[in-house]
Amino acid sequence: MWHVRRLTDKDEIRDFLEPDRPYAAYALGDLEPAFFVDCEWWGAEHNDSLGTLALLYRGLEPPALFVMGEPAGLAAILGLALRPQQVTLLAKMIHLERIRAYYHVPRPVPMLRMWLRRGDFRPAPATGLVRLSPGYRAELDRLYHLGMGPGERPDAFTPLQLAQGVFYGVERDGRLVAAAGTHLVALAEGIAAVGNVFTHPSWRQRGYATACTSAVTAALFEMGVRDVVLNVAQDNETAIRIYERLGYRRYCPFVEGIALRKG
């Protein structure tokens, strides 16, 4: 039998997440006080041992659901305790069958988590870049919307990320044509996530994405971060090769997507 309980002890949560640190990067970041207040953590125990963890982060809309550990314990959590109607899911393939017992996941996107440690970093030339301040919010919104289809949203870009994170860009003719930034920076946990990497379609094949990603990564290491992660679609080999040239390595596949509660 699995016993389900609410988790509130940060040390207990951290101890469970650390063995799979690159996969759990966003959850580790949510241990920071500014994010922890929006978190709902649940665990499932078997034989007095914590075997599964689920995190519902309500700081996004829809909230984000992250799962980790044994699939059987996840079934207990979703069946007995955690029942949001709609979430943005992040899970490994081994969890998907149990999740689908409770949620419709119509279009799970196969993703790859990549990971970089400081000693493996191979920076690219980063001349002519601009460190983006909160004053660039409108320009970033304009740039990111160029890559969106009808009804889509930017790659989890929020003004808070720009204010608290690290963003670099390339300007041409007074307009921002490429940018990269961060989804999270958790200095207390020594971890950060790069994201929001995009180049205007008319300005591609010039190395701008590589340069911006390299500059963001370098700044994170200078701030004292030990591990940097990023997400990329599994079929985006062009982007994967760019990140690998910077030293990022393929860590694990996972799926993400909108999940809707059944019934």
Q: Residue 151 pLDDT > 50, yes or no?
A: no
For residue 175, pLDDT over 70 is answered with yes
Per DSSP, the three-state class of 52 is strand
- Structural domains in the chain, CATH included, are 3-110+257-261 (3.40.630.30), 122-246 (3.40.630.30)
Confidence of residue 161 (pLDDT cuts 50, 70, 90): confident
Q: Give the pLDDT score at 53.
A: 98
Phi-psi region of 48 (alpha: psi -120 to 50; beta: other; left: phi over 0): left
> What tokens were used for 11?
């040390």
pLDDT number for residue 154? 44
Percent share of the chain, pLDDT over 90 = 87
Confidence (pLDDT) at 145: 87
- Who contacts 204 (Cβ-Cβ below 8 Å, separation ≥6)? none
The predicted pLDDT at position 163 comes to 80
**Predicted local distance difference test score (pLDDT) of residue 150:** 38
Q: What is the pLDDT of residue 263?
A: 84
Q: Are strands 249-261 and 227-233 parallel, antiparallel or unpaired?
A: unpaired
pLDDT at 7 over 60: yes
CB 132 within 8 A of CB 162: yes
**Share above pLDDT 70 across residues of the chain, in percent, rounded to a whole number:** 96
Q: Output the average pLDDT for the chain.
A: 93
**Angle made by CA atoms 195, 197, 201, in degrees to the nearest 5:** 155
The per-residue pLDDT for 147 is 65
Q: What is residue 245's predicted lDDT score, i.e. its pLDDT?
A: 96
pLDDT classification of 105: cutoffs 50, 70, 90: very high
pLDDT at 152: 39
* Cα distance between residue 135 and residue 143, in whole Å: 14
